[in-house]
Every structure is written in C-alpha cells, then in structure tokens.
Amino acid sequence: MNLISPRQVDDWLEGTTLRRYIRAAHLPYSQYSYFMLLLKCSILSVSFFIILTAYIFSLPEDVQLIPGMANIYTILIAFVLLVPGVIIGIFTYPQTVAMGRKSSIDLDLPYAITYMQALSTTMTLYNVIRKIYEADDLFGEVGKEFGLIVRDVEVFGDDLYTAIRNLQKVTPSKNLEEFLNDLLLLSNSGGDVTNFLSSRSAYFRETAARELESVLKTIEVMAEVYVTAFVAGPITMIIIIVAQNLGGKSDLAGYMPLIIIGLALGSIGMIYILYLMLPAIKMDITKKPREESEFSDVNIDMEEFSKVDQSFLKRVESKRNRFRLENLLKNPARTYISDYNYGISLGIVFGLLVFGIYYMGIQEEWIRYLQVLVGIMESTTLSYSFPLEVFISLLIVFSLAPLSLAYEGRSWFVNSVESHTPEFLRQLVDMKDVGVTLQTAIGLISNSKLGVLSQELVITSEDIRRGTTTINALVRMEERIGLVSVKRAMSLLVKASEVTDYIKDVLIIAINDFEHYLKLKKDRFNIAITYVMIVYLAVGIYMYTAYSLNVSFVSSFTSFDINFDTTGNLTDMFRIGIVLSFFSGLMAGQLSANSVLAGLKHAILLVLGCFVLFAFFIPYQMDLIAEAARIAAANGGV
C-alpha cells in the first residue's frame, strides 16, 4: 500500500503547472509518478549530504576537505547543491524541456503550415494533419504535436474538434495554440482553408524570426555565464594560488581536484541546459527504405511467398549487398559523412595507436626529440616532458579528429546543397513559364552548375529517361540527398505534381520557404560566431596568464637573484588547460549549432594550442631565461 496516494499529490500540487509541463515536455510520467521520482531522488541526495557531513565532522580540526576553505563552508555549499539544488533541478526539468520544445515548434511551424497549404487543395483537414504527423522527420516537434491529434482520433475515438482542443491545452507553443484555434474557427465556418494557411504561413515566418532573436539572447546569456564562471574563475584562482605559493603559503596541487571536477561538471551542466533549451541546426541525413514494384497493388500472403525459390531470394540479397559495396567504393567520402559510425570506429583505432605509443614509452622519446629540435636544451626536457598530459592531449586530438572530419564534411555537403536549392527551384519556375514539362526541365537544369546538386539532377534525369515516373525519380533524389530542408522543398514539389501540372505557385511557395530558412540559419550563424570568438578569447587569456606567470613573472625576479621552482605549478596549469580547452571547445559548438559534434574541431584546436604552449613554448622561454641568468651570473663573477 502506498503511503502517498495520487489524490494527495494532486492536492499538494494544486495551483502548480507541473502537470501541464510534464505533458508539454512529452515525458513518460504522470504527475504522481514524477512526484514520486522527485521524492526518491530528494531522499537519496539528503542521505548523501548527511553522510558527507558526518565524514567532514569526523576529520581532525586542522584538516580541510577542500584546501583553503573552512569545512563549514564546504558543508554549506554541499547543502545548497544536494538538497535545494536537486529538488529545484528535478522540479523545473519538465519546464526546461517544454521551453526547448516551444522554440523548436515555433521555428518549424511556418514550414509545416506551408506543407499543409500545398496539401489542403486535395485533402481533408484531418488527412492533412495526419500527413504532417507521418512526416515528423521533416517537421520535428510539430509532427510530434500533431501525432497527439492522430492518437486521440484513431486510438481514443475522439472527433477532430475535441482532439485539436486537447492539443491546445498541453502544447508549450502559444503560436501553435493560436493557429489551431483559428483553424478550428475557420473550418467550422466553412472558410477557405488554403488561403488561410497561406496568410498564416507568412505571419508565422515573422514570428519565427522573433523567436530566433529570443534564442540568440539565450545564447548570449549562457556564453557570458560560462566565460565568467568557468574561465575567469580558474584564472583568478590560479593567480591567487600561485602568488601564495611563491610565499610558501599554498600549493596549487591541493586545489586541483576541486578545479578540474568543477570545470568538468559545470561545463557538462551548461552544455546539457543549452541542449534542452535551444533548437539544433538540422544536419541529419535520413533515409527511409522505399519498396518499389510494378505489382504494388497485388497482395501476396506468407504462404505464397514461402513457395518462392529461397536460393533465388539469396541471390537477390547477395546482389543488393554487392551494389551497396560498389556504392561505398565509388563514393567513399559520401558514405563516410553519411554515417558517423565510420568516424567513431576510426577514432577508436587512432586512440589505441596513441595509447600503444604512450604505453611503450615511444611518445616521451619523440616529444623530447621535438623539444630539442625546436631549441630546448636536453637537460631542460627532463623537467618539462609532461608524459601523462601530452598523452591526454594527443589522445583527444587523434581520437576526435576522424569524427570531427565526418561532421565538417557533412556540414560542407549540407551547405553546398542548400545554397543551390533555391536556384534550382527558380530555374524550374522559369522553364514552367515557357511551357517546358517538368521532366524536360529537370534534364535541362542537370547541365547547370549547381555543385553537388547537379550530380543528383543528372541521376534523376537518367532515371526519368529510363522510364521512371517523374514523381518517383524526385522522391528517389530526395531520399538520396536525405537533408530535412531539401526534403521539405521536394515534398512540396512532389505533392503538387501529383494533383496538377500547374505547379508554378507551389514552386514560388517552396522558394520563399527555403530562402526564409536560409536567412534564419545565416542570422543565427552570424550572431553565434561572436560568442564562439569570445570563448576562444577567454581560453587564450587563460593560456596567456599561464605563460605570464611561468615566464614573464618569474623572469622579473632574476635581477634580484631569486629563483622559483615552477615545475609543479606548470604541470597543474597544463592539466587545467587541457580540461578547459576541451570543454570550452564543446561549449563553442553548442553555442553555434547546439551540437557537441560541432564543437569537436574547436576542442581539437584549443587542446592542440594548449599542448604546444606547455610542451614547447613555455619550456623554450624558460630555457632562455635560465641561460640569461647563467650569463648574467658569469659576467657578475668576472
């Protein structure tokens, strides 16, 4: 028997928006089950806090769990993080997810309405809504919301009016709520749905632009918080600790667990919050298998199918596998960027090679050889070899490089296809104006210089020449390209071609739709790149601070015949630099494209810069300082 009943939970949470946000976030919980999850997590966090507090009180009075911080303050910080922090975090999680879904819905809504406009001339309103639901790979969260309408009608037996009203109550997007309300009013009054959808599409394009401004403001706030808390904070701590260390009062090594764990957990938290709140730039290459047959209307039961010669079926499957292998060999780059598993596998191989070189001791020999090659004295290399830190740096660079290459290759492919798609649609409009048929127009346009798109048009034209219908050839091209943005435009063209030969108006709609998408994407990139540069600048400031503390600052004392041993501090700064560079790179990708994969190249560059600074540049400068001190001492002795 449950100690807490659902009715009690409903009474306690009456007046809150938890139930609405749970449904708006599409979380698989009822209000009662989510409350019980919150209660269990709270009990666990409180128990852990009590155990931690008991352990801290058991320590001797002169022992501090966090060096330099009184244990009472450690207990206070632990209480804030583990008790109210956990409760507030879990309680507000549905709202955070719902707000992220709201941004995605508002940005995708204009494209869904445009698609509905093209279908509304030949379909009922419910069938149009069902088509949006079935194309959820094109319309993202809008398709998932319309799926609730389909569920209520087909599973629960509600009428369309009731199903739409139910969605209005739970959708996180006010824009979608208003659109559905206006759509119901128009449908009940018998108005022209097509003209209504046309006007609302233009309106919601403007709304999407305003929503993008809100997204960019979120990026701005998160970037400032990250730079202040996770870059400026470590720099300040390091300056203070090093200054204390020079006076013999403190040691940076004692603070290392706090700094590194704080940087890692804080950065992961910020990246996850951005992932929940911001819509990602769609770069997925999706392919749905299509079964085509001359006898698609003939039903074959399993008994008849079992009579087919199994050896024949095996030969067919063998030929299909051979064709896949041939396609991979003909287009290795296209295959590589289409599936990230190739990049991950290659990264694992490179990572194992780096580990093998480190394990066998070859890495340290190579690094010392390179240090001597750039002018560092061999005696100095013994103090500044950093074998573990160099291994971690090289492991990050070489294991992430293949996956980053796959992502950047896909990014180039996406940008190339998207930049030429509006021009392709415009040429179709021009040729339709002079009376050229669609299939002929595709053949003529395939000779144009449209980058990667020209190759696909050549294949499509050849398909049509060999007898494939124009619609099937276009659908095959859409699936080969696999980009969501291109699929939306091609789907409009295909649906229009199925009902009429006069497709000029639909092409113009598709052009406007696509250009709006490209404009929003460009605006987001232009603003986000500013914050990426801020992240680079912040990490650069950390590296310059480390350089100054270990080179310029120390060299200023040589005239006083004072020497400092900074080797230990330099190692700790190297470790902090690796963690900071890696997570700052990932954060830069999250800010620019809401994708960790987009941050891999930034992480590689920053970690590589950190590696060069600490393994080569600073030791070389330290060598120069030591040589200058020896010369000065020799001259003084004379």
- Does residue 585 contact residue 605 with C-beta atoms inside 8 Å? yes
Does residue 30 have a pLDDT over 60? Answer: yes
Q: Residue ranges per domain, the chain?
A: 1-191, 231-277+340-412+520-637, 414-516
Range in 177-186, 282-291, 310-319, 594-603 with the lowest mean pLDDT: 282-291
- Does residue 95 contact residue 194 with C-beta atoms inside 8 Å? no
Closest CA to 551 of 568, 570, 532: 570
Global model pTM greater than 0.75? yes
Residue 483 phi, psi dihedral angles, 5° rounding? -85, 140
Model pLDDT, residue 185: 85
Residue 549 phi, psi dihedral angles, 5° rounding? -65, -35
Please tell me which residue, 419 or 626, carries the higher pLDDT value: 419
Q: Give the integer Cα–Cα distance in Å for 513 and 196.
A: 16
In DSSP terms, which residues pair with 285 in a beta bridge? 483
Does residue 425 have a pLDDT over 80? Answer: yes
68 pLDDT tier (thresholds 50, 70, 90): low
Does residue 559 have a pLDDT over 60? Answer: no
Model pLDDT, residue 492: 76
Range in 172-181, 190-199, 562-571 with the lowest mean pLDDT: 562-571
Does residue 638 have a pLDDT over 50? Answer: no
Model pLDDT, residue 305: 56
190-194, long-range: CB < 8 A, 24+ apart: 193/120, 193/125, 194/117, 194/120, 194/121
Average pLDDT over residues 393-414: 92
Q: What SS3 string covers 198-245? A: HHHHHHHHHHHHHHHHHHHHHHHHHHHHHHHHHHHHHHHHHHHHHHHH
Model pLDDT, residue 402: 95
Average pLDDT over residues 17-32: 90
Please tell me which residue, 1 or 237, carries the higher pLDDT value: 237
Average pLDDT over residues 424-443: 81
| CB neighbour class for 115 (10 Å; exposed up to 12, middle 13-18, buried from 19) | buried
**What pLDDT, in 10s, does the model give residues 220-241?**
888 888 888 877 777 777 777 6
Closest CA to 511 of 486, 545, 530, 484: 486
**What pLDDT, in 10s, does the model give residues 349-379?**
999 999 999 988 888 888 877 877 777 665 5
Average pLDDT over residues 425-445: 81
- Does residue 550 contact residue 585 with C-beta atoms inside 8 Å? no
The share of the chain scoring above pLDDT 90, in percent, equals 19
List the structure tokens of 341: 């598993």
Does residue 1 have a pLDDT over 50? Answer: no
Average pLDDT over residues 45-49: 93
List the structure tokens of 584: 């700052």
295 pLDDT tier (thresholds 50, 70, 90): very low
Closest CA to 230 of 579, 549, 573, 575: 579
**What pLDDT, in 10s, does the model give residues 244-278?**
666 555 556 667 777 888 888 888 888 888 888 77
**What pLDDT, in 10s, does the model give residues 579-590?**
999 999 999 998
Average pLDDT over residues 178-189: 86
Please tell me which residue, 629 or 202, carries the higher pLDDT value: 202
153 pLDDT tier (thresholds 50, 70, 90): very high
Q: For residue 259, count other CB atoms closer than 10 A to its CB.
A: 20
List the structure tokens of 431: 């040729």
**What pLDDT, in 10s, does the model give residues 447-506?**
888 777 888 888 888 888 888 888 888 888 887 787 878 888 887 777 777 666 667 777
Q: What is the largest CA-CA distance in the chain?
A: 106
Q: Give the integer Cα–Cα distance in Å for 475 and 81.
A: 53
Does residue 290 have a pLDDT over 60? Answer: no
The share of the chain scoring above pLDDT 70, in percent, equals 86
Does residue 293 have a pLDDT over 60? Answer: no
Average pLDDT, rounded, for the chain: 81
Closest CA to 409 of 487, 338, 344: 338
9 pLDDT tier (thresholds 50, 70, 90): confident
**Hey, is 70 helix, strand or coil?**
coil
Does residue 546 have a pLDDT over 80? Answer: yes
Average pLDDT over residues 433-445: 80
Letter string b/e over residues 561-592, b meaning 16 or more CB atoms within 10 A of that residue's CB = eeeeebeebbbbbbbbbbbbbbbbbbbbbbbb
